[in-house]
Amino acid sequence: SQQGEEDPQALSIQEGENATMNCSYKTSINNLQWYRQNSGRGLVHLILIRSNEREKHSGRLRVTLDTSKKSSSLLITASRAADTASYFCAIYPYNQGGKLIFGQGTELSVKP
């Protein structure tokens, strides 16, 4: 499967701790994106990282991309209870006509 495989499937941490989620994939990509989904809601885009980029930051979010290992990680620093959500990576492979392929997601629970 070309889809992103996410690890761990579920993560539970205390408020103030850092949360790290990983995504691995099997094909060459144009870019990789991370999305967040609160329970019962639509997805919200967090960060897009292109294949020629290695690291990107947005507020408390840090994304890394290692194309040689075909893997990415999302780090949320100083987590808050409001960060509780599911986080999905999505890859945009070359020659796929613009289709994003989503992983299964990591369910993050941040306890106050």
Partner 1 sequence: DGGITQSPKYLFRKEGQNVTLSCEQNLNHDAMYWYRQDPGQGLRLIYYSQIVNDFQKGDIAEGYSVSREKKESFPLTVTSAQKNPTAFYLCASSSTSRDRWGETQYFGPGTRLLVL
> Which residues bind to partner 1, rule: CB under 8 A?
3, 30-31, 33, 35, 40-45, 48, 88, 90, 92, 96-100, 102-105, 107
104/109 with CB nearer partner 1? 104
20/104 with CB nearer partner 1? 104
**Minimal distance in Å, beta carbon 11 to partner 1?**
14
45/78 with CB nearer partner 1? 45
Give the strand pairing for 71-76 and 61-66.
Answer: antiparallel
**Minimal distance in Å, beta carbon 98 to partner 1?**
5
In the numeric block, the tokens 């990591």 are attached to 106
The overall longest dimension of the chain from CA atoms, in Å, is 44
| Other C-beta atoms lying within 10 Å of the C-beta of residue 80 | 12
**Minimal distance in Å, beta carbon 99 to partner 1?**
6
**Minimal distance in Å, beta carbon 13 to partner 1?**
20
Give the strand pairing for 85-93 and 71-76.
Answer: unpaired
